[in-house]
Structures are given as C-alpha cells and as structure tokens.
Amino acid sequence: MLETRNLELFYGTSRALKGISIGIRENLVTAFIGPSGCGKSTFLRCFNRMNDLIDGVRITGECRVGGEDIYAKEVDVIELRKRVGMVFQRSNPFPKSIFDNIAYGLRLQGIKSRSEIEGIVEQSLRGAAIWEEVKDRLHQSALGLSGGQQQRLCIARAIAIRPQVLLMDEPASALDPIATGKVEDLIVELKKDFTIVIVTHNMQQATRISDYTAFFYIGELVEYDQTTKIFTNPAKKQTEDYVTGRFG
C-alpha cells in the first residue's frame, strides 16, 4: 500500500532521513518506533506530503501510495490528503460543534445533502467508538469534550472522508491510560477498513496493537519486521538494545 525506495529528506542542507526503503502492508497496523528525534514523525508526514508546509524541505527518492508516485509533478496534493488521512499528537478539533467538525471534510468535497451528511457523521462517530457519548450533544462545541474524547473525535473526523490510509502521529501520547486504552482498541478495530501507520514512543503500545514494526534511529530505518519478531528476536543488536530499554 505504502512504499518508499531510498527516500531521503533534507532540511536545507542537513539530511534528516537517510535512504529509507520500506513496504507497508494493507489493512494492518504498522508501528514506527525509535528514540526522540530519529525522524519517525518526519517520515510519517512524507506520505501525505505535510512536510511540504515547511520551508526548505527537499525530498529525493521514491514514495508511492497505492503504486502511484506521490511526489510526481502532476499529483494533486489535495486528492492525496483525502486518500491518506492523519491524526495528530495533540488533538486539534475545530472550534465548531461536534457535528460541524465531522461534516467539515464532507462539505469540502461538496456533499450538500443534509441527510447524507448526518448519516456519515453518525457512521464515523460510531466507527470512532464515541457515538454513545456525544449523540445527545452533537451541536455543542467540540472544545467541551475531554482530551480523550477530542482525540477520538479527530479520528472520527479523519475516517469520515473514507481515506485508504490513516497516519497516526503518537495519537495517545497526550492521553491518560483509560483514554489510551480506548484509542488502542479503536485502532485495532479500524484496521479492518484502513491501512494504519502509527508513530509511538510507547513500546508496550506497539506490541499491543501493531502487526509490523519499523525501528528508526537517527534518520535511518534500522529494522522492519513483524512485531513479534522485533520484540522477541530482533535481527540487529541496535534494535535489541532499544526494545530492551538499554537506551532511548
């Protein structure tokens, strides 16, 4: 589903990502792990071209979504972002009602029918395991929700436009353990319909929810394999040192 070959990223002249080649499988959860600053979030953001927003960023190598090179000149970035959705570390609901938050992406696509929007809103909120909690206050401000609820709302907002891929950048790191648990259960459910890539600091989380894990270190992809193998019998010593907590 997602594929890179020798991808390199430069901030000006300094190289942040070095020669990364990876193939991410469909309808699975893939975790990116590694110490702070190793480039996992930067790499994640290559897949929906959110790095374009930063001045002076340059990318070489290949990066494909569903077989298509997303950095080709003819690519419509807007369409790409509809296909590859993102959930951020700090939940960022719009200062609008819960309903309008979900409907935002739908209205962008030109969907006008009220009943159609209502249907998709309910479906997305159910899909994000938050419908029961908010169904009676859909038109109240999203900012009145708790942190965990806001994050699940952002997930609902992202899946409402039916992307193929969900990129999640440490989605539970700002949440308490109970809310984290809910988000993790949600992610395992969601992989039936989406390809999920999650960046996480929390190795226990990676073992709990991911099928494949990629270990990054200072801008390089050190090892990529099934999660069970990475955490029980890694091939590289560096990986072993990290997952056993000897550093990072």
Q: Which residues contact another protein (rule: CB under 8 A)?
A: 48, 50, 53, 55, 78-79, 81-82, 85-86, 88, 90, 92-98, 100, 104-105, 108-109, 139-144, 154, 157-158, 161
Closer residue to another protein, CB minimum distance, 105 or 127: 105
Q: Which residue, 59 or 154, is less far from another protein as judged by CB? A: 154
- For residue 198, list its beta bridge partners: 31, 168
Closer residue to another protein (CB): 162 or 229:
162
Q: Is 190 in contact with 166 (CB distance < 8 Å)?
A: yes
Shortest Cβ 234–another protein spacing (Å):
33
| Residue from 56, 51, 55, 114 nearest 84 by CA | 51
Are 167 and 87 within 8 A, CB to CB? yes
**Least distance to another protein, CB of residue 198, Å:** 15
Q: How many other C-beta atoms can be found within 10 angstroms of the C-beta atom of residue 204?
A: 9
Per residue, the 3-state secondary structure of 190-213, as one string, reads: HCCCCEEEEECCCHHHHHHHCCEE
- Based on CB atoms, which residue is closest to another protein, 197 or 221? 197
State the nearest-atom distance from the C-beta of 130 to another protein, in Å. 16
**Among candidate residues 81, 84, 63, the one with its CA nearest the CA of residue 72:** 63
In this structure, are strands 57-65 and 2-11 parallel, antiparallel, or unpaired?
A: antiparallel
Distance CA(70)–CA(107), nearest Å, equals 25
Closest to another protein by CB, 121 or 161: 161
Task: Report which of 19, 23, 89, 20 is spatially closest to residue 50, judged by C-alpha positions.
Answer: 89
* CA–CA gap between residue 121 and residue 177 (Å, rounded): 27
Shortest distance in whole angstroms from residue 175 CB to another protein: 16
- C-alpha to C-alpha distance for 156 and 182, rounded to whole angstroms: 13
Nearer to another protein, 103 or 221 (CB): 103
**Cβ(202)–Cβ(194) under 8 Å?**
no
Q: Smallest distance from the beta carbon of 132 to another protein, in angstroms? A: 20
Nearest distance from residue 167's CB to another protein, in Å?
A: 9
Minimum Å gap between C-beta 142 and another protein is: 6
Residue with smaller CB distance to another protein, 86 or 175: 86
